[in-house]
Chains A and B, each alone.
Chain A
């Protein structure tokens, strides 16, 4: 029997380090169900865990069986993973299915994880980008379209179905132990590529702080879109230096040259379509989220970089 006093929450992307951090924070007070479309992960006997494709009909059975109160949707396939079409199917169509089912089964709270990549790295970006700023990344590369589409979709549901109480979070670079995204891989390398002469300002949030932010967001049913970033900034090449990374400069002009080089190398951690993020800054303003949800990140940049410096050789 399910205890009614404890909220039932569906957490997607359970195989990821972030979801596991969120789960560990909520498992004492909530009944959790974990799903992932990549692999089935064991999270203890008290948390049912499934490997399931959101686009399959059997996904609805979970909603019937567990009667969720809320959904924390962290299961995004990152731009460095899988093919463009599979990403689109999982991120956009999968999310649509998830939101449709959430509406059908009267879910009262949905938190969707997006990314700051949606703003796009453009030379003319101002710093401290607000949530109202246009999403330019779709114009930069077809590989980032699914990120923007996912947001558009979540936005439509946000306004069409206010009862879902959707909150979309756009975090800056999430880094820290266990994180497998491209920036975390770069910081962990012995030598990392840089675009010669470009060292854009970046923001980093520790995975533990991000998990705190998601839990804070879930617990306060405040609809809307929020950037999540600490009030601290560092230039990319300086960050590499602090992580003990050597720098391999990639020729940066004319712009066609780095694109050709990166396409030829086809590096997972430094793909050509993310090239602009290593050239122009995308500095977001996280103050609205901090104010609204009382969020204060606790891990300073120095601590984040020390972790990468001391863990160059993974066990």
Chain B
């Protein structure tokens, strides 16, 4: 107990603890929510991510205050870099903002719950299995949810395809419309360079039961990351044909593309 409290005081300073406690999450009597988020574990995650965010990737976030301070909201970024580092950095940017911080929930690949230790750990940090029901229930709970409509098509793409948006699914738009959740587009620049992959060994991925098996260096490069948050986009909940939903998705995609271009033009060097 003594050692645990010493470790805790080292890793989690009082101001960080107060910061997290200030963000009220709908949790049960033992600090968990139905998806496995845990307030205490989150504090360790937050402390660790601070180092990664500030020291390793030296993230520059612009416009994070555009995310509404309360109510359901969908944060929709481009996806890249083999590992879900982009989701982690966006989540930290929002959780650490001075005014009205929020702990967003990131929707993760269906593969993660099957991985021992990692699956549970991600859940405790607030990541949630990317299932439409989960997303719907969380929006109904008034949460901020990070969704990557490109899915593994985005995160698993090769270095030669960097900053090219892959096909977006329409599911997020249906949910945003149904739950009247504004969509905040985000352009992530830099994560493409963290793990540049030159090929994907599909048979190996199939054999291992993982989404993709990239040929890449076995470490994460310290590329400088720029996060550009766009203005919230609000869509009505009228019954419209799927074609028009796709058009709306394309509007979001165009907004993200623009934010990526802004990030790329602002970027002075890769590292």
Give 1 or 0 for each of B14-41: 1 = CB within 8 Å of chain A CB: 0000000000000011101111101000
Query: What is the CA–CA distance of A200 and B124 in the complex, to the nearest angstrom?
Result: 11
Contacts of A234 in B (CB 8 A): 28, 30, 32
B265 proximal to A (CB < 8 A): no
Main secondary structure, interface of A, reads loop
Q: Beyond A232-B28, A233-B28, A302-B29, is A127–B34 a contact (Cβ under 8 Å)?
A: yes
A301 proximal to B (CB < 8 A): yes
B110 proximal to A (CB < 8 A): yes
B241 proximal to A (CB < 8 A): no
A280 proximal to B (CB < 8 A): yes
State the Cβ distance, B118 to closest chain A Cβ, in Å: 8
Contacts of B120 in A (CB 8 A): 197-200, 235
Q: Which residue of chain A has its CB nearest to the CB of B27? A: A233
A193 proximal to B (CB < 8 A): no
Q: By the criterion CB–CB under 8 Å, are A235 and B36 in contact?
A: yes
B113 proximal to A (CB < 8 A): yes
Q: By the criterion CB–CB under 8 Å, are A197 and B117 in contact?
A: yes
A13 proximal to B (CB < 8 A): no
Q: Which residue of chain B has its CB nearest to the CB of A238? A: B30
Determine which of A196, A233, A300, A301 lies in contact with B34 in the assembled complex, contact meaning CB atoms within 8 Å.
A233
Q: Which residue of chain B has its CB nearest to the CB of A230? A: B28
Contacts of B119 in A (CB 8 A): 197-198
Give 1 or 0 for each of A223-252: 1 = CB within 8 Å of chain B CB: 000000001111100100010000000001
Contacts of A235 in B (CB 8 A): 32, 36, 38, 120
B137 proximal to A (CB < 8 A): yes
Query: What is the CA–CA distance of A125 and B34 in the complex, to the nearest angstrom?
Result: 12
A48 proximal to B (CB < 8 A): no
Q: By the criterion CB–CB under 8 Å, are B29 and A123 in contact?
A: no
Q: By the criterion CB–CB under 8 Å, are B35 and A201 in contact?
A: yes
Q: By the criterion CB–CB under 8 Å, are B116 and A196 in contact?
A: yes
Contacts of A177 in B (CB 8 A): none
Q: Which residue of chain A has its CB nearest to the CB of B35? A: A127
Q: By the criterion CB–CB under 8 Å, are B32 and A198 in contact?
A: no
A47 proximal to B (CB < 8 A): no
Q: By the criterion CB–CB under 8 Å, are B34 and A201 in contact?
A: yes
Which residues of A, 181-228, contact B by the 8 Å Cβ criterion?
195-201
Query: What is the CA–CA distance of A19 and B80 in the complex, to the nearest angstrom?
Result: 56
In addition to A123-B114, A127-B34, A201-B34, 5 A-B residue pairs with Cβ atoms within 8 Å of each other are A127-B128, A197-B115, A200-B120, A233-B32, A235-B32
Which residues of A approach B to under 8 Å, CB–CB?
123-128, 195-201, 231-235, 238, 242, 252-253, 280-281, 283, 285, 300-302
Which residues of B approach A to under 8 Å, CB–CB?
28-30, 32-36, 38, 110, 113-120, 123, 128-129, 131, 133-134, 137
Instruction: List, sorted by A's number, 21 A–B pairs whose CB atoms are closer than 8 Å.
Output: A123-B113, A123-B129, A126-B134, A126-B137, A127-B137, A128-B137, A196-B116, A197-B116, A197-B119, A198-B119, A201-B32, A201-B35, A232-B28, A233-B33, A234-B28, A235-B32, A238-B30, A238-B32, A252-B116, A285-B137, A302-B29
